[in-house]
Structure 1
Amino acid sequence: MAKSLLALIFLLAFAYSIEPAGKAKLEKLRALSSASQGMIRLNTTGYYHYIVDSPRPYIVVVYFTADVTKFKCLQCEQIHGLLDQVIYSYKTAGAESNSDDPTQLPVFFAEIEYLTETQEIFQKHEFMSAPNLFVSKPKNILNNGKTFTVKREDMWEFNMGSDAHAYKLLEFINNRSGRNIQMQTPVLQSLMMFIYMVAIFLFIATLVYKLKDLLLVPYMWLFGSILVYFVCISGVVYDIIHGVPMVGSGQKGVPELIHSGQRSQYGAEGFLMGFLITIGGLGVVALGALSKLPPYRIRLFGFAILLAVIYSAYTIVSVYRIKARWYGPGFYPPDYYTRGPLMRDQGYSF
């Protein structure tokens, strides 16, 4: 009986000692976040203290990154820029404070860079590359001495085929942290965007006024229609919404023009495909107008136009096979591929 009473007293004392320790870590994280504008830098000691060791009455979104110059990790810099907007949204919503809902823990953001003194952390997570994102919650990381065991749904290991943009990151972090934070844009950034749009509008209005006589020429409307079609087919709206870079970076830091993801693209890739599709379409239309030319020119221009159409189609198919490796001769995907209505996005991005 006496031993049971002593054990109960010990457990109660241990439980009460956890709460002050957790509060101390929580307040320290708030101070570090305030001093670092939201992104806390961790070393190995800090990672063990705030991410691995209990108690952890908070959530930390950890960004594993590498030096862009030393390791040519252009994607690390790209994801960091996207995270900045997510961090601003969380801080604006007051996510670092205790919520009225006890199930919603304070949320912080931290980064750990791959260095000689931090490589132990990367090795224990068995990372093969960077960047990676881990939403650390109480009791979702276990340390057995050799490796860290985490829930796979709380980890996002990026690769060149990842469809990464600010809204996608926000959705992932919201789902893992149990929050419903909406994307917020800094006032200065919104103001600059407004000024930029007004400047474009004024420029276009001035240009239309100066060229009003030229705009009455029918061929100008044809050219304008082709230009609008090119812009639309190139995915410019998608690029603006998701902050798409013009080019990416391959595994060895080599510039990459074609994104391997079926639902993603680089800016330059979109313009290239839009140009080829436009040229191919114009070529088909032009073939029907060759009959108005003299006979000796029909063969010359016909051969050149047909060559341009074939080259455009061949290049488009070749690029699509990079993005959809299942694609081969024919018009149908293999039996294991996603089927259903077009709204399910079967990957026919072209």
Structure 2
Amino acid sequence: MKRIALILAKLFAVCAALGLCVVLYLFSVGYFDPQPAIGYLHSPKELPYVDLDALEDRFEENGVRFLLGDESAGYEPAARELIEQGAQVLIVSEDEDILDPALLRLARRHSVPLVVVGRSPQLQEMEDYDKLWYVGSNPALGGELLGEEMAMGFRDGAIADANGDLLLQYSLYLSDIGPYHQALSYYALQECEHYGVYSNLLEYLDENDDPLPFTAEALAGQQKPELLLCTTAGDARFLYDLAGQLGWLEGDAPVRIAAVAENPELAQALVDDGVAVAASYYDIDQITQVAGQLALNALNSQFAGQGLELQPDETGRFFIPFGLVTTIEDE
């Protein structure tokens, strides 16, 4: 009996030793380390600068948790909470071109890399923190792309010169008059002029020189523009419906619509549905891919551009070109 007990004790000791070796090995390879995490901060407007579902899938494939912050109290408290939850990198969605100074101080204090999407931070902010990166699109690029298409369309007749004055008579509709949308429209018109097509803004005003609302009742009897320019897919569809109510889509010189859309699918739908003759678009898929890879690189302390065909400019900004869907070349 004692012999059996001794044998069992030896077996237990051997198993315990083997188990201890396995545990020590697992510790050595980081098996019990906390799962790495990347946090995301929404902008106040919660605009779709990146595809959150695609980011989550990408990080999950790489064994990384994706944490969403609660920005109701501001960027800095939300970022602090994410860092306390284990976030080692933060993706920050930004509507303005100035980052929250408190957020920057927090990131520096904890040495947390920031990947900004949406509006680009100021050059000085980029230079002051070497772990600050930007992925996005310059609105000038989207405007210029659309403006070239507008000019080509006017020159080849896809956008009719209804009164024969060689001026593109246009009306601008911006439901969001923020600087980003204003820049898109401004650069579209500047690029149009660069290609030799000059334009004239049709302003619809009442007897007090106040802008008329964009409604069929208010604009009835007003001069029909040759082009309606807008900077969101929703605005393009609104204008198309309005033009139909006003009879501007009828005849030999129907009004045309040129738009900027928020993603490739919306731009393609505008053209496929006959709403717009041309639509440039914010390439959310490419921006999501680059932002995700940047965050993973930062998490692994790799060079920011590792695994990317695109490289940053000297300030650390990755500018993604706008895309374009058009029918003008076919007309």
Give the alignment's TM-score, normalised by structure 2: 0.26
Give the alignment's TM-score, normalised by structure 1: 0.25
Structure with greater proportional helix content: 1
Q: Which has the higher contact order (CA 8 A, sep 6+)?
A: 2
